Amino acid sequence: MVWWIALACTGDGADDESGMATDSVSIPIDDIAGWIATGEYQSWQSGELHPTLGNHFGNVLAHFSPSLVESLEAGNELHPVGAAAVKELYGYEGKEVLGHAVIVRTGEGTTSKDWYWYELYEGEIFADSHGDADCSLCHSGGVDFVISKP
């Protein structure tokens, strides 16, 4: 089965009447590594490079889709479908990207199965599914499974 997820994403800055970004990009779940390689997520708002609080192999830098930033800033308890974050994984030395972790809200429910989880580090896939148990266990302490902040 092929999943496509549309994400709100900055582009020309046009907003609809709700104030939400109107530009979007589709992520092919069956080729998420290919989508990551395009670097489109790097135009999203990011936090600071910091040591991970979880199992993400050292230092991380998180990038947040515009809809996730808006939801976090509004203090929402549930984030909208399409909200996403991409973490660049730098390892313990923090000099080059060695992998990525991705979280994308795909459903409107309240469980980890409403999120798609992906993690690739140094060529090994650690997560690639909806509701990944290892990811959701650590992320359950966040607001709707999102721990990092922009």
Which pLDDT score, from 0 to 100, does residue 45 have?
96
Contact between residue 115 and residue 104 where contact means Cβ atoms under 8 Å apart:
yes
Query: Which residues share a beta bridge with 127?
Result: 119
Quickly tell me which residue has 């910091």 as its tokens. Answer: 50
* DSSP H helical ranges for 8-143: 32-38, 66-74, 133-139
Which pLDDT score, from 0 to 100, does residue 17 have?
43
Domains by residue range for the chain, with CATH: 30-139 (3.50.70.20)
Residues in the chain: 150
Which pLDDT score, from 0 to 100, does residue 26 have?
64
pTM of the model: 0.80
> Average pLDDT for consecutive 10-residue bins of the chain (150 residues)?
36 38 54 89 91 78 93 94 92 88 90 90 91 79 81
**Bridging pattern class, strands 84-91 and 4-8:** unpaired
